[in-house]
Amino acid sequence: MTGTRQYLLERIDDVAVVQVYADGFTSLPLEHKILVWHLYLAALAGRDIFYDQRHRLNLEIRDLLEAILRHEAHVDPAVLAEVRRYTKLFWINTGPFNNLTARKFVLNLTREQLLAAVHAAAREGATFASTPEALVDRLSPMLFDPSFDAVVTNKTPGGDRDILEASSNNLYVGVRMSDLANFHERYGLNSRLVKRDGHLAEEVYRVGGTSRG
């Protein structure tokens, strides 16, 4: 706290959440305020694209966590506290990988505890794309197993392991570094490169998922 202003809002594990003040916004010309508004909308759209780029299951995991938090009335308090801790870190890091180390952090619950929380949320009106059991089983390796997709971008995989195959991000699917030797991307950082039937294809990231470019 400095003067009457609060800067430190919260600490989650080793992360500090701070308040940033935009003091000059009110004095901006109208056209500049309108520009800021449109940049804000663009950032919201880009946020989901970045979640998707970081890992193929990120958006599903986020939807699951937020559904529990929005329908928390009958979730076990201890389980809810851990879901809330994990979700805050998930939001801050845009997924379950630490922004500094690139390594995955896990949810400190059991599959059964998470499943019970999903069922409790469903009874309160939460909706899910599949049955709670199928959804939790699908996401469990990412949520609970520290060795599954352990590093978002592995620059030093060691041995003869390929950098792209050792990384967990959603920018390449079935692609090795050797495949890129003579390939020129059309869409740069806004696409996912997929190898199908021996051929490389770019899938352009858009809000709602990728599409073939």
- Above 70 in pLDDT, residue 207? no
Q: How far apart are alpha carbons 10 and 31 in whole angstroms?
A: 34
pLDDT at 46: 87
Place 213 in a pLDDT band, splitting at 50, 70 and 90.
very low
Long-range contacts of 145-151 (CB under 8 A, 24+ apart): 145/106, 146/104, 146/106, 148/104, 149/55, 149/104, 150/103, 150/104, 151/97, 151/102, 151/103, 151/104
pLDDT at 208: 62
- Above 80 in pLDDT, residue 21? yes
pLDDT at 140: 98
More confident residue, 182 or 141: 141
Identify the residue whose tokens are 């970045």: 50
209, amino acid identity: G
> How does pLDDT run across 38-69, given as a tens digit for each residue?
999 999 888 998 999 999 999 999 999 999 99
The stretch 163-175 carries a mean pLDDT of: 94
- Dihedral of alpha carbons 97, 142, 136, 210, sign: positive
- Above 70 in pLDDT, residue 203? yes
Distance of CA 57 to the CA centre of its chain: 8
- Could you give the residue ranges of the DSSP H alpha helices within the chain? 30-54, 58-70, 77-93, 111-123, 132-144, 163-166
- Above 90 in pLDDT, residue 115? yes
Q: Where along the chain do its domains lie? A: 8-52, 56-144, 171-212
Phi and psi of 150, rounded to 5°? -75, -25
Identify the residue whose tokens are 């940033």: 20
The stretch 103-128 carries a mean pLDDT of: 98
More confident residue, 14 or 1: 14
Whether the Cβ atoms of residue 62 and residue 90 lie closer than 8 Å to each other: yes
Residue 100 CB: number of other CB atoms within 10 A?
A: 9
pLDDT at 3: 67
Please provide the average confidence, as pLDDT, over all residues in the chain.
92
